Every structure is written in C-alpha cells, then in structure tokens.
C-alpha cells in the first residue's frame, strides 16, 4: 500500500504518521500472522492505521524499508539467525510475535530430548537434514523491543499494542495472572469441575480465553509477575493431578522452561 493520505489521517484529532510495518515468519505455523487477516471486522481500520510493506503470506511486493518488524516463530536452523539479524538491522522496533518467538513455543518441546540425533532420526531416518539441536526464542540472538504473547496471539491485544505504537504510547503488559481475568468473567473455577489449569500462574491479557471455553490454561503466555509455582504444584496435587500433568502444561510453550526442567528432573528421578 502506498503512502498517500498519510498526512490527513488522525487519531483523536492528532495527525498520524502511518508506521511502515513488516511481518516475517521463522519456524512456526504462521497462525499469528493469520490472526491479522482473521480480523475481518476491524481489518480495514487496522490497515488504515499502518502501512503494511512486507507480508509474504498475503502480498507479493516486498522491501527492506520498514519501521516495525513483527517476527513470528522460533529459531530452529542457522539460516534463520541470519534472517533475523538482517531484520534487526532494518527495523527500528522488533516485536517477538507470539509464543514461538517469545519462548520457543511448542517447537521447543523437542529440546527436552537428550539426544538431538534421535529427534532427527525419528522423522527423517538417515536422510540428512539441516536443523539446530534446539528451538530457541528470538531474544537468544537479537535484542527484542516488544513481546506479544499467546498461542495464538489475541487479535484485540495485537490491535491495541499496534495502536499504541502508532500513536507513540508505551505498551504495558498485564502483570496479573489469567486467573484474575477468569474471575472477572465469572467463570466457574475449572478445578471445581475437575480440570487442571495454569490460570493462577500464567500472565493475563488473553481475557482467560481458554478457561472461558471450559478448557484449562496451558500457560502459553508464560509466567505472571511473582508467579508462585510451588503453590500451583500444591493446588494441582490437592485436586488429584499428577506431576506429569503439571509438567505437560509447564513445558508446552516454553514460557516456564526453568521450572519445567526442574520438575522433569524430579519426575524422572521418581520414575
């Protein structure tokens, strides 16, 4: 899209410059990008706010001149490191877009195996395949300016954050857990209906998306501030859930890796 009308657009009466926005994907399902297009009812407003200059999944035109780069996915192969570094050089603001970019996402589940060769052989046998031993988040390689959490990202949150960037406001991530939003939504507590849930320790901001659908939280947004993992373990245990269930959830998206590794050690020791 071109830059015409840039000067005439305003937000709350303040003239707006439309930031040049680029979307990139590394190892991922490309779902977080798709959430942008999935935003049918507000897509037009969104497109009037920013100038999308790079979006390979939706457009053929491309350029290296952009202000904000949204990078989806984790790093799983060496060429992705170079791609990410060049994006970092081109962009003023680099946004880690979604749980894969922020924590490694489900891709990092392969990191738990001690033998990376086994992982390779499990899928490709003896066929040579270029891949890194572990899936890593973006921040392991470049400086990240902003994180948008979630698997997938929540469209309302993305729009809010992009609006903040466009009008030059700082973005404050929720410090409270999903559990608080769930209470505000007047949901029945999932523990009371026999479902495990990481809502008490997971960063909010998703409006308790999964628990609203009677599906317990798996921690895709990583830990809330001062998350009390020990107490979470106690709650899970009190409600009859195994350490394995706790571990499955803690390690699913990579946001709780340090706790998960600790728990895995105990768990393995007992096995």
Partner 1 sequence: MKSTRTIDIHHITRVEGHGNIKITIQDGQLTEARWEVVETPRFFEAMLVGKKWENAPWISGRICGICSIGHTLASIRSVENAFGIVPSEQTRKLRLLLKHMETLQSHILHLYFLSAPDFLNIGSFFPLIESHPDVVQRAARIKQLANDLCDCVGGRRMHPTRTVVGGFTMLPEKKELVKFKIRLQEVSFDLRKTAELFRTFAIPDFARETEFVSLKGDGSYPFIGGDLVSTDGVTKKEHEYKLMTNEYLVEQSTSKWSRLSRESFAVGALARINNNFFFLHPAAREIGLSYGLRPICHNPYMNNIAQLMECVHVVAESMGLIDELLGMIWKEPRQVAIPRSGIGVGAVEVPRGILYHSYEFDGDGKIIQCDCVIPTSQNHANIQHDLRTLAAKCVSQGKPDREIELLAQMLVRSYDPCISCSVH
Whose CA is closest to 196, among 246, 149, 234? 246
In whole angstroms, the minimum distance from the beta carbon of 253 to partner 1 comes to: 9
Q: Binding residue for partner 1 (CB under 8 A) from 16, 18, 19, 28? A: 28
Residue ranges of the alpha helices (H) in 99-228?
99-103, 116-124, 155-166, 178-184
Q: Binding residue for partner 1 (CB under 8 A) from 96, 106, 142, 197? A: 106
Site string for partner 1, 137-176 (x = CB under 8 A): --------------xx------------------------
Tokens at 66, concatenated: 């952009």
**Residues facing 97 on adjacent strands:** 72, 148
DSSP state of 169: P
DSSP state of 25: E
HSE-up of residue 160 (Cα within 13 Å, Cβ side): 13
Using the contact rule CB under 8 A, the part of the chain among 136-144, 164-172, 174-182, 206-214 near partner 1 is 206-214
Note the Cα 271 to chain centre separation in Å.
32
Q: Please count the residues of this chain forming the interface with partner 1, following the rule CB under 8 A.
A: 61
Using the contact rule CB under 8 A, the part of the chain among 9-17, 224-232, 241-249, 255-263 near partner 1 is 241-249
Using the contact rule CB under 8 A, the part of the chain among 11-19, 168-176, 214-222, 228-236 near partner 1 is 214-222
**Residue 34 contacts partner 1 per CB under 8 A:** yes
Nearer to partner 1, 185 or 225 (CB): 185
Are 173 and 205 within 8 A, CB to CB? yes
- Please name the residue that has the structure tokens 């350029």: 63
**Dihedral sign for Cα atoms in the order 107, 112, 115, 118:** negative
**Residue 185 contacts partner 1 per CB under 8 A:** no
In whole angstroms, the minimum distance from the beta carbon of 146 to partner 1 comes to: 21
- Please name the residue that has the structure tokens 């001062």: 226
Nearer to partner 1, 248 or 262 (CB): 248
Are 227 and 201 within 8 A, CB to CB? yes
Chain residues that interact with partner 1, rule: CB under 8 A:
1, 25-35, 37-38, 40-41, 43-44, 47, 52, 55-62, 76-77, 80, 105-107, 109-110, 113, 118-120, 122-125, 127, 129, 131, 135, 151-152, 209-210, 212-215, 218, 244-245, 248, 252
């Amino acid at each position: 899209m071109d830059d015409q009308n840039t000067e005439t657009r305003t937000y709350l009466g303040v003239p707006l410059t439309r930031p040049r926005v680029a979307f990139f994907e590394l190892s991922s399902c490309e779902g977080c990008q798709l959430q942008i297009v999935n935003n049918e009812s507000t897509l037009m407003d969104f497109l009037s706010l920013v100038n999308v200059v790079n979006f390979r999944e939706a457009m053929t035109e491309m350029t290296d001149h952009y202000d904000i780069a949204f990078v989806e996915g984790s790093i799983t192969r060496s060429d992705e490191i170079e791609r990410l570094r060049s994006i970092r050089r081109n962009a003023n603001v680099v946004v880690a877009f979604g749980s894969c970019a922020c924590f490694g996402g489900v891709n990092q589940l392969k990191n738990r195996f001690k033998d990376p060769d086994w992982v390779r052989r499990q899928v490709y046998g003896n066929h040579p395949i270029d891949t890194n031993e572990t899936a890593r988040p973006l921040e392991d390689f470049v400086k990240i300016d902003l994180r948008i959490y979630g698997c997938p990202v929540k469209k309302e949150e993305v729009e809010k954050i992009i609006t903040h960037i466009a009008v030059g406001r700082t973005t404050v991530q929720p410090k409270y857990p999903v559990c608080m939003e769930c209470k505000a939504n007047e949901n029945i507590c999932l523990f009371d209906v026999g479902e495990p849930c990481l809502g008490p320790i997971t960063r909010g901001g998703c409006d308790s998306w999964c628990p609203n659908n009677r599906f317990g939280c798996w921690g895709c947004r990583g830990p809330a501030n001062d998350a009390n993992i020990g107490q979470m373990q106690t709650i899970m245990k009190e409600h009859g859930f195994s350490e394995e269930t706790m571990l499955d959830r803690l390690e699913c998206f990579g946001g709780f890796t340090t706790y998960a590794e600790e728990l895995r050690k105990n768990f393995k020791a007992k096995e």
